[in-house]
Amino acid sequence: MAYEAGLAPSEVRDATFGELQAIADAWMRRERRAHEARAWVVAHLMWATGNLPRGTQVGALMRSLLGRTDPEPPPAATAELSPEASVAYMRAWTKRVSPRT
């Protein structure tokens, strides 16, 4: 997946787990948008050529092509850590990844 995301081996080696997770998330969003764009084209072509029963709506057709039953809910808000919790998390992470001497 790193190659598909456009990363060189040196970039993967130097990246933190958080950076790699962000890259993977971005790659998945790009793939999802490309899949939704293909579904949009297919839905409009099927609708425009008259291959569907009268009254079929494009939005409902796209949801069925994408395997969704209801309109997509808005993304859930992420909770932010308090400053104290952020500092504690960073200290624990630094302690965990620092070389043991």
In one-letter notation, the amino acid at residue 76 is A
Confidence of residue 100 (pLDDT cuts 50, 70, 90): low
- The domain spans of the chain are 1-71
Residue 42: half-sphere exposure toward Cβ, Cα within 13 Å: 13
Residue 74: the pLDDT is 66
- Classified as helix, coil or strand, 84 is helix
Length of the chain: 101
Alpha-helix residue ranges (DSSP H) falling in 15-101 = 17-48, 58-66, 83-97
Confidence of residue 2 (pLDDT cuts 50, 70, 90): low
pLDDT at 91 > cutoff 80: yes
Instruction: Dump pLDDT digits (tens) for 12-63.
Output: 777 888 888 888 888 889 988 998 898 888 888 887 888 777 777 777 888 8
